[in-house]
Amino acid sequence: MRLRTVALPVEHGAWGFLLEPALLGLLVAWSSAGVALVIAGLAAILLQTPLSQALSDVRRRRVYPRTGLAWRFVALYGIILVVAVAVAIALAGTPTILVPALIAAPLALGQLWFDAHGRAREFAPEVLGALAIGSLAACIAVAAGWGIVAALGLWALLAARSVPTIAYVRARLRLERGHAVDPRCVWAMHLLALALVAVAVAFTDLAWLVLVPYVALAGRAALGVSRQRVSVPAKVIGFRELGFGIALVAFLALVL
């Protein structure tokens, strides 16, 4: 048994989906309560791995060498999460900063259910997890004094990035392994995300420049699943997506 398989997320993409809402939230709505919320978000990401393993063992009614260790990490990360949330509420002066997190709770529970049943690598739990952690940006915004509606809009912008990106990366990895992929699904998801952002821009005071990174992401997806793509290792694809995510967050922070 390796300690890190219990203590740390197996999926490296989880770190990117935490980094993006944390950075965006702090860049556009900095506050000390927001920093505490980022620590809480980190604890939540860490908590998911041992908790899903422990619940999986409970479901099987078996005790493995990892089981006791998993519960210990659940306790450790759970304490950090509770303390960080309590500090964030105290600094913000209101528990309403948790409203976005409460909205996201069913999504997180859904992902946990998939994980506990050994189905963590499917499309649905990946989307649920990305959407759930995206609520962190909205919580940070509320902690800085934003209204709930505006904060949820920030969350929606991240969702328009994360959901089609998951579809693209899964399709791209299948192509690199030599499997057949229907690129129309990937294109459709990016175009839908772009259309939704365009509607938001048209009916709110968002600047039209907000559309730029989503157009770039759609172009990246169109090329990445086409016959003109250049084959690269999975690790390179992961680092590229991390770069796209940071670039999108930086751009949005400049124009919002």
Instruction: Please report, in angstroms and rounded to a whole number, the separation of the first and last CA atoms in the chain.
Output: 47
For the stretch 220-247, pLDDT in tens is 999 999 988 989 998 899 889 999 999 9
Q: Is the pTM of this model over 0.75?
A: yes
User: Which residue bears the tokens 């908790």?
Assistant: 51
Q: Which residues contact 37 (CB under 8 A, 6 or more apart)?
A: 25, 84, 85, 88, 97, 136, 139, 140, 143
For the stretch 122-134, pLDDT in tens is 999 999 999 999 9
Q: What is the mean pLDDT of the chain?
A: 92
Span 209-213, average pLDDT: 95
For the stretch 24-66, pLDDT in tens is 999 999 999 999 999 999 999 999 889 988 888 888 888 888 8
Sequential DSSP letters for 23-75: HHHHHHS--HHHHHHHHHHHHHHHHHHHHHHHHHHHHHT---HHHHHHHHHHH
d(CA 226, CA 71): 45
Q: Which of 178, 189, 166, 151 is nearest to 244 (CA)?
A: 166
d(CA 184, CA 158): 22
Instruction: State the Rg of the chain over Cα.
Output: 19
Q: What is the dihedral of CA 210, 216, 219, 220, to 10 degrees?
A: -130
20 versus 60: the higher-pLDDT residue is: 20
CB environment 25-62: b (16+ within 10 A), e (fewer): bbbbbebebbbbbbbbbbbbbbbbbbbbbbbbbeeeee
Residue 253 buriedness (CB in 10 A; 0-12 / 13-18 / 19+): middle
Q: Which residues contact 40 (CB under 8 A, 6 or more apart)?
A: 80, 81, 84, 85, 88
d(CA 198, CA 203): 9
For the stretch 55-111, pLDDT in tens is 888 888 888 888 889 999 999 999 999 999 999 999 999 999 999 999 999 999 999
Helix (H) or strand (E) holding 103: helix 99-116
Contact between residue 51 and residue 74 where contact means Cβ atoms under 8 Å apart: yes
d(CA 107, CA 40): 17
Asked whether the predicted pLDDT for residue 2 surpasses 80, the reply is no
pLDDT for the residue numbered 66? 85
d(CA 182, CA 175): 10
Domain boundaries, the chain: 3-255
